Structure 1
């Protein structure tokens, strides 16, 4: 008898657990279905107003395309600047009495410095040949009885050594060597380049912030107009018991669609700009005997753009709907 009661109690508990689990699943399924229907209905309503939707999407896309294009340009400048920085060097001119063998010995010592990535010795003959080719003074150089040019050590520095403090310390160490006459620093421009690049990055970030606020205003204004046009519908929903959350959901989805499609259109505009400019960039690089191609938005960058634009659309819609619900007693 006791065993039968125990089995009956366990059976009821199991049915209760299954019932509660099934209830949660049904509620979740209903909640997802409501969101799906709301998303589809808001998208359908936007497509029924093509002119107004296109104008809003165009404004959002232009506001997003400008900072995105600047970010793409900045990334390409960084990539190009990285190639220049790798070619930045410090030319060490040795004393006139130092020959190639002594210069090679000094080069071995300098190559042990942690800041030096590579080293090349330029002999007197090689230096004179290069000077003859670039100066156009071949006839005058033929009159010289001996080669007046010194041995030169060209140091390729590591990227970390191009920072102001390490570069200054390295130059002071090299200048203190008795074999060194003077230095020519080709690496200082890299510091100026980094400073200009940091300034441009700050300007792009500020511009992106301002245009992001512009997207909020554009989406918010569009949602506010939509709310005003649907005031009667909102009043009816309130009369039949709709909650503010239910009414807000439709407008939030509208803002999300504005942001998503605006970001997609902005990405397409930036991709089109990259495609139009790639040929010119390649031809200019060919003039300088370089191979360079403009890189556009990657898959991760495109995804980040869509995510950011969608969030901006939702936030702009939330602000507009929140202010409307605060001012309107229809709900």
Structure 2
């Protein structure tokens, strides 16, 4: 009896030892896989910065090339922005010359000028009497003696209307309203300089976009070449990792972060270069503006430019790295 009982007890213990010796299949949950994926991303991010500072000369030269390529269109765009701001605050706004009828009474003219000053499209009105107009013409033309012999003043009274906006549509609308006024004889609006300014601004914007596109392409080529060299230097490591079952996504991840770091550092250096250029030019520009009686000051690249340059450069670096690894990583296969 005792022998049978001990035999029955020994059988489950032997089976338990047999199960513990064999292979055990385990399943990983979604949380474990997500944690492992995030952990690998954090590790590659830190490793990319470590590799960047491990070879500061080559990494710094690559980032500096990216920075120069980005700083050129950024500086041009910032210059256009400052130019538009300077023109908007310039005292030489377009003027509309309103020539009045010679028989118009002064009281009616003054009432008409007051009505124009109350118009939201008008920034200011200056009245020039016929006597003032004649005196200015004599001084400017040098025909004072000839004009003095005339029996009457041939010049009419003039209202110099300064529009509140330099927009061509608003100017044409205001000029048309002035032509329809009862006291108006003729209206002269010089739109030539406004149109030239608009065309110059549009040309500068097109040039800035074209330059930015070409230099962004150059940044992509620089990053692609740099990442290709990194891949070739780690070819043996990639072969070993693929032999143990690593996927292409796992292998490409460190190179993508390397391109991201290159672009990010290049964008930060580009912002510093543009800021340095503005600092160097701020003094001479302020002195020139003071000579013309203007309080214009250069606007430097603020936080918006910093975020745009750093983010755009990081995106370019990531795109260039992706183009490099998409071509070269798949070509490296263990035999």
TM-score, normalised with respect to structure 1: 0.81
Q: What is the deviation of 1:109? A: 5.0
2:136 aligned partner: 131
2:324 maps to 1:312: no
Spell out the pairing of 1:130-279 with structure 2 (5 A cutoff): 131=136, 135=140, 149-159=155-165, 162-163=167-168, 165-279=169-283
CA contact (8 A) 1:92 1:184 kept: yes
Alignment counterpart, residue 48 of structure 2, candidates 38, 42, 49: 42
Cα offsets for 1:177-217 (capped at 9, x unmatched): 45334334255422321222122212211211111111111
Alpha-carbon distance in structure 1 between the residues aligned to 2:240 and 2:139: 85
Unaligned runs of 5+ in 2: 1-26
1:103 aligned partner: 109
Alignment counterpart, residue 117 of structure 1, candidates 122, 126, 129: 122
2:39 maps to 1:33: yes
Q: What is the deviation of 1:305? A: 1.2
- Which deviates more from structure 2 when the two are superposed, residues 177-186 or residues 250-259? 177-186
**Structure 2 counterpart SS, 1:156:** strand
CA contact (8 A) 1:274 1:296 kept: yes
CA contact (8 A) 2:134 2:153 kept: no
Q: What is the deviation of 1:121? A: 3.5
Distance change in 2, residues 1:86/1:25 (3 Å): farther
2:302 aligned partner: 298
Q: What is the deviation of 1:40? A: 1.3
TM-score, normalised with respect to structure 2: 0.80
Distance change in 2, residues 1:218/1:79 (3 Å): same
CA contact (8 A) 1:162 1:191 kept: no
Alpha-carbon distance in structure 1 between the residues aligned to 2:234 and 2:295: 57
2:97 aligned partner: 91
- Which deviates more from structure 2 when the two are superposed, residues 321-330 or residues 300-309? 321-330
CA contact (8 A) 1:95 1:150 kept: yes
Cα offsets for 1:152-177 (capped at 9, x unmatched): 22223243x722x4533543443354
RMSD across aligned positions (CA): 3.3
Distance change in 2, residues 1:271/1:78 (3 Å): same
CA contact (8 A) 1:92 1:180 kept: yes
CA contact (8 A) 1:85 1:190 kept: no
2:285 aligned partner: 281
**Structure 2 counterpart SS, 1:84:** coil
Larger Rg: 2
- Which deviates more from structure 2 when the two are superposed, residues 223-232 or residues 168-177? 168-177
Alpha-carbon distance in structure 2 between the residues aligned to 1:118 and 1:301: 33
**Structure 2 counterpart SS, 1:326:** coil
Alpha-carbon distance in structure 1 between the residues aligned to 2:146 and 2:299: 46
Distance change in 2, residues 1:130/1:55 (3 Å): farther
Q: What is the deviation of 1:82? A: 1.6
**Structure 1 or 2: more helix by fraction:** 1
CA contact (8 A) 2:138 2:144 kept: no
Distance change in 2, residues 1:326/1:86 (3 Å): farther
CA contact (8 A) 1:221 1:320 kept: yes
Distance change in 2, residues 1:134/1:249 (3 Å): farther
Q: What is the deviation of 1:246? A: 1.2
